[in-house]
């Protein structure tokens, strides 16, 4: 790790100010992604602005049939929240399947969404549920937020304050974990809402999380796993690495989507 | 049996300190005025070093010294050695390229050591290391075992043309040819034993220290064998005479073989401490451990088994290419030869065996002994091919094995081993029973009804432990003997210190050895302390590896205990004015037969130290030592049965059931033995299902360089194991033990892969049988079936 200056922000505004003044500053929330990269000397921010302690970024509230989750809320808090469990059980289950207990007690939803790791779980939930990512400047629809590998619509210095998830009639997430990292090798989130069906895939795309239009329209007519048994996903644009080739990933998307639909139908 | 006697499941006394964070590992130790070392490692798999600019680093804050290969060469420090000379088929010696502690002209794998930077703090040392500029001339690299000898492969060492380290063979080629001519059936199999990264929980570490006043060096290091390390550093590398070098291996958190060897880092910490006259500490990062701890396995093998029409084995022919990496690590050359091919007879009456092994250099980390060392590779070959042959002959794999089991002992194999004792049928029977083999068909049908594929696989393994008879290994090329020493120091008050050359780094010696000694002397276990891991305390020892600490280390203790009892008996007879022949030593007390006279062990020891009344000619004190050189290897053997259930949609393999029945001879502490079996199976399942080191074929970079990509087995990869034991007491040592540390890792990969191939109905699936690999195998076999 290289040397850096540490600021514990007293408010979101204070954080934005400190970040603005820093040479090459970085927000830190749970540190579960940032700290390992700093220890490996792959990242060397001049300043760390810690927003992980800010009460205004914490907590979960029920909004309509959905939930609004503060950016600094940990995965464990989401997994253990009765509000999330009763409104969007699939989201609570997803959070409970991230990493290990240590990671879940430190890592935050804001950090996960801001980082947009192509194998992270939350981006699939955001996209499938049609979430809104709220920042200190604006609100961004999930469809516009995830723009590529580790890329988001966030501007320099912009701070995520919360994520709003509308409720769903039916939803489920199926994760096929990478055997080594246990991040998603293929994760499929399906959600049926008043606006139709959304199917979002994480772990598999070369450019990160994406939606599967063919499945969405098939499921829109008939929300059953049988409806998508004939829908194949092309391996074009899918990641290929030592753990899984793109064809295998394409195949797994089908399997996980069908299992997710079955789970959503209970 | 008492509560702590031989055979009792005594809880491990050392665990309290380990699980409460009170262990004292090398990195926990700090020496006044200590500096920190950071190493510049090669980012290239193969490159010439055209120049190294150290100026900026030397001028950086807190930098104490910078050393490069030139400094080490100029100091006349010898290179790292390989301590086992293997001879080629034609009788010539193996080729071995120099392994300087810091590279001079060339780097040969990603992670090769290029410079040592010493700083006042670790951060300063690291920052300094980043300022070193190395001018590399990048060369083509080869990381592939099978391609090392291709004409197009880059030449890695001038001393080893064609990257050939040796071409070695064992067995009778003509007899094998004749067996194949007479055969009714030949089964052949091409298999790969995947490369593994050892990943001990504690990374390697070293603190080199030099006392300018006395000229003495001290090395604290993570070693499985501190005396051997000292011998190598002293006699071969030439750092200091043995009497001027103390090596201490304190608590060590796992080794699995990787901490047997002498590496560049500790060598340089000692040498450079003498140069700067200050202590130097180095602790490996996990990332460096992936690159530089000696890897394991990495064989490519073609095996052929000749059988007659009744399924009787006639001959075995094996050709293996073994990847030894970029340099020959300390015992690397022995692993794919004498630790491998000598076990190819398995549990079978195989009249003829011929095995050829080509060892090659590649641009990868050095490969050396890793839990099982050669024997897992041998077991994998023989147990996979036997199972394959059974399928081809439409015979129950159990039946084929039974028809060929060795049943009479001693049994001489065609590959120089003499099995002293065993009962292979007994462990198989017990395992079949525990596994409910008869119910397998029902379970398979139930799995099928759920859309799953179920398979069962056997591994009736044998291995050789208790290494080893010194003269025998000497005749095979070992640079050292493989006896063990022990000293029993009885204190005046009757408690005991046991000094042993064995080294505990997870095995629970402090418990087992104390239990054994207490039982033999009839004193409470807490009156026995085990002393190990310090060359200033223990006279000499060969260390712990190859499941030798029980069979060899404890045998030395046993002989030393015999001597203590003999002397104490004489003294007791004198004190009680009885004849020596009338003294009975039992439950810690010496009594005179037929009388009520007796003396406790502590009373006799006190008398020995007070020495007021000694028999004529007897020296005071009660302390005895012994060196035990085994007469033979020991042969743990048994049967593992693995049942898997595969989800054909995803390729995920789940282990549904695991039975292991082992014959380890006498068992001192069954709880510790079971723990060793559990850990061994976990590692074997790791190799079979999840682990595998992968280098990029073009760049030579290690792609599995962290736990994000290198998959370690976890609790949820494993079932609850069903263990059983059979016992044939080992005749080759006074304790009757055979060794249990590696059996699980040796037996299990074959059991898993036999089960996986059974479930899929295919001949082979490469390890690790990851979901992607299994899914691919299913795709190929459905495609083949369709064609
Ligand atoms: C061992 C391990 C296993 C893991 N397994 C999984 C897994 O299975 N699935 C999964 O999805 N993830 C996994 N993760 C990642 C984990 O979920 C991280 O917690 C998450 O990606 C980042 O959250 P954080 O709070 O730790 O962010 P930090 O590491 O603190 O920050 C990450 C990045 O986000 C930025 N950031 C943080 N908060 C905000 C904010 N409010 N606004 C704008 N930018 C912000 C930071 O500046 C930084 O660039 C794993 C991590 C580890 C270490």
- Cα–Cα distance, B603 to A5 (Å, whole number): 67
Q: Which residues of A touch B (CB under 8 A)?
A: 1-3, 40-41, 176, 179-181, 242-245, 248, 251-252, 255
Query: pTM above the 0.90 mark?
Result: yes
Contact: B772, A181; criterion CB under 8 Å? no
Q: Is the CB of A27 under 6 A from ligand 1?
A: yes
Four-way CATH pick for B483-628: 3.30.365.10, 2.40.440.10, 3.20.20.70, 2.160.20.10:
3.30.365.10
Question: Is B703 an 8 Å CB contact of chain A?
Answer: yes
Q: Which residue of B has its CA nearest to A2?
A: B123
B772 CB neighbours in chain A (<8 A) are 243-245, 248
Contact: A251, B775; criterion CB under 8 Å? yes
**pLDDT for res B786:** 85
CATH code of A157's domain? 3.30.465.10
The interface residues of chain B toward chain A in range 527-546, judged by CB-CB distance below 8 A, are none
How far is ligand 1, taken at its centre, from the CA of residue A127, in Å?
18
- Cα–Cα distance, B16 to B13 (Å, whole number): 7
Residues A104 and A151 in one domain: yes
Question: Is B407 an 8 Å CB contact of chain A?
Answer: no
Among protein residues, the one whose CA lies closest to atom 37 of ligand 1: A111
Concatenate the DSSP letters of all residues of B202-242 into one string: SPPEEEEEEETTTTEEEEEE--S-HHHHHHIIIIIS-SS-G
Residues A19 and A45 in one domain: yes
Contact: A248, B711; criterion CB under 8 Å? no
Architecture of domain B18-139+201-254+259-292: Alpha-Beta Complex (3.90)
Strand partners, B207: B220, B281
> Could you count the other beta carbons within 10 Å of the beta carbon of residue B565?
21
The pLDDT of residue B283 is above 90: yes
Q: Which of A42, A229, A242 to mutate to test the interface with B (most CBs of B within 10 A)?
A: A242
Mapped to the 3 state alphabet, what secondary structure does B496-524 carry?
EEEEECCCCCCCCHHHHHHHHHHHHHCCC
Task: Give which of B102, B93, B98, B142 is closest to B360, Cα–Cα.
Answer: B142
Between B771-786 and A246-264, two packed helices, what is the crossing angle to 10 degrees?
Answer: 100
Q: Is the CB of A25 under 6 A from ligand 1?
A: no
Contact: A248, B776; criterion CB under 8 Å? yes
Which residue in this structure is represented by tokens 């451990």? B289
Question: Is B600 an 8 Å CB contact of chain A?
Answer: no
Question: Is B766 an 8 Å CB contact of chain A?
Answer: no
Among protein residues, the one whose CA lies closest to atom 23 of ligand 1: A111
How far is ligand 1, taken at its centre, from the CA of residue A128, in Å?
20
Long-range contacts of B95-98 (CB under 8 A, 24+ apart): B95/B157, B95/B159, B95/B160, B95/B161, B95/B164, B95/B165, B95/B166, B96/B157, B96/B159, B96/B160, B96/B165, B96/B328, B97/B156, B97/B157, B97/B158, B97/B159, B97/B160, B97/B327, B97/B328, B97/B361, B98/B157, B98/B159
What residues does CATH 3.30.365.10 cover in chain B? 296-467+632-786, 483-628
Atom nearest to A158 CA in ligand 1: 43
- Cα–Cα distance, B384 to A233 (Å, whole number): 37
- Taking domain B296-467+632-786, whether its CATH number is 2.102.10.10 is answered by no
The pLDDT of residue A6 is above 80: yes
**pLDDT for res B137:** 98
Contact B50, B68 (CB under 8 A): no
pLDDT tier, B785 (very low <50, low <70, confident <90, very high otherwise): confident
Residues A144 and A87 in one domain: yes
The pLDDT of residue B2 is above 80: no
Contact: B770, A243; criterion CB under 8 Å? yes
Among protein residues, the one whose CA lies closest to atom 50 of ligand 1: A99
> Could you count the other beta carbons within 10 Å of the beta carbon of residue B717?
17
Paired tokens of B737: 């033990």
- Cα–Cα distance, B480 to B542 (Å, whole number): 9
Residues in chain A: 266
Domains in chain A, number:
3
The pLDDT of residue B339 is above 70: yes
DSSP summary character for residue B552: I
Contact B599, B589 (CB under 8 A): yes
Which residue in this structure is represented by tokens 């692993």? B335
Which residues, 6 or more positions from B384, have their beta carbon under 8 angstroms from its beta carbon?
A: B189, B191, B303, B750, B753, B754, B764
Contact B36, B102 (CB under 8 A): no
Q: Which of B694, B715, B771 to mutate to test the interface with A (most CBs of A within 10 A)?
A: B771
Residues A124 and A199 in one domain: no
Q: Is the CB of A9 under 6 A from ligand 1?
A: no
A252 CB neighbours in chain B (<8 A) are 650
Q: Which residue of B has its CA nearest to A181?
A: B708
Q: What is the pLDDT of residues B368-398, one digit of tens each?
A: 999 999 999 999 999 999 999 999 999 999 9
- Cα–Cα distance, B192 to B172 (Å, whole number): 24
Question: Is B631 an 8 Å CB contact of chain A?
Answer: no
Q: In a 3-state reduction of DSSP, which class is residue B705?
A: coil
Ligand 1 pocket, mutate which of A35, A44, A53, A112 (most atoms under 8 A from CB): A112
The pLDDT of residue B534 is above 90: yes
Closest-CA distance of chain A to residue B693, Å: 10
CATH code of A210's domain? 3.30.390.50
Strand partners, B53: B133
Q: Is the CB of A171 under 6 A from ligand 1?
A: no
Residues A59 and A147 in one domain: yes
Atom nearest to A160 CA in ligand 1: 42
Paired tokens of B130: 């980043």
**pLDDT for res B1:** 59
- Angle B606-B607-B613 (CA atoms, 0-180°, nearest 5)? 160
Q: In a 3-state reduction of DSSP, which class is residue B770?
A: coil
**Across B44-53, average pLDDT:** 98
Question: Is B711 an 8 Å CB contact of chain A?
Answer: yes
Q: Across the interface, which of B123, B694, B775 has its CB nearest the CB of A248?
A: B775
What residues does CATH 3.90.1170.50 cover in chain B? 18-139+201-254+259-292
How far is ligand 1, taken at its centre, from the CA of residue A191, in Å?
24
Closest-CA distance of chain B to residue A180, Å: 4
- Cα–Cα distance, B722 to B657 (Å, whole number): 8
Q: In a 3-state reduction of DSSP, which class is residue B458?
A: strand
- Angle B31-B34-B35 (CA atoms, 0-180°, nearest 5)? 155
Q: Which of A180, A228, A252 to mutate to test the interface with B (most CBs of B within 10 A)?
A: A180
Ligand 1 pocket, mutate which of A1, A24, A29, A55 (most atoms under 8 A from CB): A29
Contact: B690, A242; criterion CB under 8 Å? no
**ipTM beyond 0.85?**
yes
How far is ligand 1, taken at its centre, from the CA of residue A261, in Å?
28
Concatenate the DSSP letters of all residues of B121-164 into one string: SHHHHHHHHHT-EEEEEE------GGGTTSTTSPP--TTSGGGE
Contact: B710, A40; criterion CB under 8 Å? no
Concatenate the DSSP letters of all residues of B593-643 into one string: TTSS-EEEHHHHHHHHHH-SSPPTTPPSS-EEEEEE--SS-B--EEEEEEE
Residue B436's φ and ψ, nearest 5 degrees, are 50, 60
**Across B113-127, average pLDDT:** 97
Mapped to the 3 state alphabet, what secondary structure does B313-372 carry?
EEEEEEEEEEECCCCCCCCHHHCCCCCCHHHCCCCECCCCEEEEEEEECCCCCCECCCCC
Distance between first and last Cα of chain B: 65
Closest-CA distance of chain A to residue B694, Å: 8
DSSP summary character for residue B686: I
The enclosing H or E element of B75 equals: none
Concatenate the DSSP letters of all residues of A60-79 into one string: EEEETTEEEEETT-BHHHHH
Contact: B775, A176; criterion CB under 8 Å? no
Residues A180 and A161 in one domain: no
Residues A44 and A29 in one domain: yes
Residues A140 and A105 in one domain: yes
Q: What is the pLDDT of residues A87-140, one digit of tens each?
A: 999 999 999 999 999 999 999 999 999 999 999 999 999 999 999 999 999 999
Contact B88, B167 (CB under 8 A): yes
Residues A28 and A77 in one domain: no
**pLDDT for res A8:** 98
Contact: A180, B707; criterion CB under 8 Å? yes
Residue B676's φ and ψ, nearest 5 degrees, are -65, -40
Given strand B453-462, what is the order of strands in its sheet? B453-462, B637-647, B652-663, B721-726
Contact B118, B64 (CB under 8 A): yes
Structural domain containing residue A236: 170-264
- Angle B734-B739-B744 (CA atoms, 0-180°, nearest 5)? 165
Residues A43 and A87 in one domain: no
Which residue in this structure is represented by tokens 């044998």? B462
How far is ligand 1, taken at its centre, from the CA of residue A110, in Å?
8
- Cα–Cα distance, B43 to B318 (Å, whole number): 37
Q: What is the pLDDT of residues B456-470, one digit of tens each?
A: 999 999 999 999 999
Q: What is the pLDDT of residues B133-151, one digit of tens each?
A: 999 999 999 999 999 999 9
Among protein residues, the one whose CA lies closest to atom 10 of ligand 1: A120
Q: Is the CB of A71 under 6 A from ligand 1?
A: yes
The pLDDT of residue A152 is above 70: yes
Paired tokens of B436: 């409910």
Q: Is the CB of A48 under 6 A from ligand 1?
A: no
Concatenate the DSSP letters of all residues of A167-210 into one string: --SEEEEEEEE-TTT-SEEEEEEEEEETTEEEEEEESSBTTS-E
**pLDDT for res B546:** 92
Ligand 1 pocket, mutate which of A107, A121, A201 (most atoms under 8 A from CB): A107
The pLDDT of residue B252 is above 80: yes
> Could you count the other beta carbons within 10 Å of the beta carbon of residue B260?
25
Which residue in this structure is represented by tokens 């900026």? B56
Q: In a 3-state reduction of DSSP, which class is residue B59?
A: helix
**pLDDT for res B48:** 98
- Cα–Cα distance, B327 to B363 (Å, whole number): 9
- Cα–Cα distance, B692 to B704 (Å, whole number): 8
Q: What is the pLDDT of residues B469-523, one digit of tens each?
A: 999 999 999 999 999 999 999 999 999 999 999 999 999 999 999 999 999 999 9
Contact: A179, B711; criterion CB under 8 Å? yes
Contact B534, B246 (CB under 8 A): yes
Contact: B772, A176; criterion CB under 8 Å? no
User: What rounded mean pLDDT belongs to chain B?
Assistant: 97
Contact: B690, A176; criterion CB under 8 Å? no
Paired tokens of B579: 């004849």
The pLDDT of residue B189 is above 80: yes
Q: Across the interface, which of B123, B710, B776 has its CB nearest the CB of A180?
A: B710
Q: What is the largest CA-CA distance in chain A?
A: 57
């Amino acid at each position: 790790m290289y040397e850096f200056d540490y600021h514990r922000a007293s408010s979101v505004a204070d954080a934005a100010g400190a970040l603005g003044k820093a040479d090459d500053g970085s927000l830190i929330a749970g540190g579960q992604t940032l700290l390992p990269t700093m220890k490996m000397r792959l990242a060397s921010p001049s300043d760390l602005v810690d927003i992980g302690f800010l009460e205004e970024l914490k907590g979960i509230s029920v909004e309509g049939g959905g939930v609004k989750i503060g950016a600094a809320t940990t995965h464990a808090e989401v997994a253990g929240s009765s509000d999330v469990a009763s409104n969007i059980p699939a989201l609570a289950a997803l959070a409970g399947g991230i990493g290990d207990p240590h990671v879940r007690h430190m890592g935050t939803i804001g950090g996960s969404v801001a980082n947009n790791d192509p194998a992270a779980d939350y981006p699939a939930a955001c996209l499938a549920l049609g979430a809104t990512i709220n920042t200190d400047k604006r609100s961004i629809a999930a469809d516009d937020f995830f723009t590529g590998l580790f890329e988001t619509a966030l501007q320099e210095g912009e701070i995520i304050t919360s994520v709003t998830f509308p409720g769903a009639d039916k939803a489920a997430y199926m994760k096929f974990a990478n055997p080594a990292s246990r991040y998603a090798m293929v994760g499929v989130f399906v959600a049926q809402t008043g606006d139709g069906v959304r199917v979002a895939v994480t772990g598999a795309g070369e450019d990160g999380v994406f939606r599967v239009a063919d499945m969405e329209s098939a499921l829109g007519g008939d929300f059953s796993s049988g409806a998508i048994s004939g829908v194949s996903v092309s391996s074009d644009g899918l990641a290929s690495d030592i753990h899984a080739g793109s064809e295998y990933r394409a195949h797994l998307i089908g399997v996980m989507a069908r299992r997710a639909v079955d789970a959503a139908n209970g | 049996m008492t509560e702590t006697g031989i055979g009792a499941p005594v809880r491990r006394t050392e665990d309290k300190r380990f699980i409460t964070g009170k262990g004292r590992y090398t990195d926990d130790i700090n020496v006044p005025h200590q500096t920190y070392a950071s190493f510049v490692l090669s980012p290239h798999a193969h490159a010439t070093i055209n120049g190294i600019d150290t100026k900026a680093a030397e001028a950086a804050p807190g930098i104490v010294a910078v050393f490069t290969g030139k400094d080490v060469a100029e100091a006349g420090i010898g290179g790292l050695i390989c301590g086992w000379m293997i001879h080629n088929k034609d009788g010539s010696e193996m080729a071995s390229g120099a392994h300087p502690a810091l590279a001079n002209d060339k780097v040969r794998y990603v992670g090769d050591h290029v410079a040592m930077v010493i700083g006042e703090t670790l951060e300063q040392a690291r920052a300094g290391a980043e300022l070193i500029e190395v001018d590399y001339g990048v060369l083509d690299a080869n990381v592939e075992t099978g391609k090392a000898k291709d004409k197009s492969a880059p030449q890695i060492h001038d001393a080893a043309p064609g990257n050939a380290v040796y071409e070695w063979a064992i067995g009778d080629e003509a007899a094998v040819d004749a067996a194949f001519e007479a055969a009714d059936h030949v089964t052949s199999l091409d298999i790969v034993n995947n490369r593994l990264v050892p990943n001990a929980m504690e990374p390697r570490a070293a603190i080199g220290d030099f006392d300018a006043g006395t000229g003495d060096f001290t090395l604290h290091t993570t070693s499985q064998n501190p005396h051997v390390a000292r011998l190598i550093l002293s006699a071969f590398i030439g750092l200091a005479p043995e009497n001027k070098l103390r090596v201490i291996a304190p608590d060590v958190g796992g080794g699995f073989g990787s901490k047997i060897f002498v590496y560049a880092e500790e060598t340089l910490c000692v040498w450079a401490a003498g140069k700067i006259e200050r202590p130097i500490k180095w602790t490996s990062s996990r990332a460096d451990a992936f690159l530089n701890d000696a890897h394991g396995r990495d064989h490519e093998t073609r095996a052929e088994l000749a059988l007659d029409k009744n399924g009787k084995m006639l001959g075995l022919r094996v050709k293996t290419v073994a990847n030894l990496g970029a340099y020959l690590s300390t015992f690397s050359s022995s692993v794919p030869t004498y630790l491998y091919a000598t076990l190819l007879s398995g549990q079978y009456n195989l009249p003829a065996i011929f095995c050829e092994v080509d060892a090659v250099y590649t641009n990868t980390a050095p490969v050396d002994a890793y839990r099982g060392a050669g024997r897992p590779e041998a077991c994998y070959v023989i147990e996979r091919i036997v199972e394959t042959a059974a399928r081809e002959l439409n015979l129950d794999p159990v039946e084929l094995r039974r028809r060929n089991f060795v049943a009479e002992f001693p049994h001489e194999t065609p590959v120089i081993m003499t099995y002293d004792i065993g009962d292979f049928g007994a462990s198989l029977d017990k395992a079949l029973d525990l596994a409910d083999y008869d119910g397998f068909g029902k379970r398979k049908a139930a799995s099928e009804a759920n859309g799953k594929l179920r398979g069962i696989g056997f591994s009736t393994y044998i291995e050789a432990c208790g290494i080893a008879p010194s003269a025998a290994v000497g005749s095979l090329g070992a640079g050292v003997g493989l006896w063990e020493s022990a000293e029993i120091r009885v204190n005046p008050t009757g408690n005991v210190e046991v000094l042993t050359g064995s080294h505990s780094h997870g095995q629970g010696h402090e418990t087992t050895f104390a239990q054994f000694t207490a039982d033999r002397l009839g004193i409470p276990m807490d009156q026995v302390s085990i002393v190990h891991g310090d060359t200033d305390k223990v006279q000499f020892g060969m260390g712990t590896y190859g499941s030798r600490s029980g069979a060899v280390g404890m045998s030395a203790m046993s002989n030393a205990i015999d001597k203590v009892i003999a002397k104490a008996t004489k003294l007791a007879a004198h004190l009680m004015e009885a004849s020596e022949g009338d003294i009975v030593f039992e439950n810690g007390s010496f009594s005179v037969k037929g009388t009520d006279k007796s003396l406790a062990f502590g009373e006799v020891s006190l008398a020995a130290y007070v020495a007021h009344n000694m028999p004529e000619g007897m020296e005071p004190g009660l302390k005895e030592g012994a060196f035990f050189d085994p007469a033979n290897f020991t042969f743990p053997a048994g049967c593992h049965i693995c049942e898997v259930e595969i989800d054909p949609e995803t390729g995920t393999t789940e282990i549904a059931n695991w039975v292991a029945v082992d014959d380890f001879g006498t068992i001192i502490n069954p709880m510790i033995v079971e723990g060793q079996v559990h850990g061994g199976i976990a590692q074997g399942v790791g190799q079979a299902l999840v682990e595998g080191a992968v280098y990029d074929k073009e760049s030579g970079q290690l792609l599995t360089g962290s736990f994000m990509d290198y998959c370690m087995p976890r609790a949820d990869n494993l079932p609850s194991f069903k263990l059983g034991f059979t016992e044939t007491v080992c005749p080759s040592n006074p304790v009757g033990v055979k060794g249990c540390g590696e059996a699980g890792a040796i037996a299990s990969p074959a059991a898993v892969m036999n089960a996986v191939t059974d479930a899929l109905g295919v001949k082979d699936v490469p390890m690790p049988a990851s979901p992607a690999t299994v899914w691919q195998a299913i795709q190929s076999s459905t495609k083949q079936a369709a064609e």
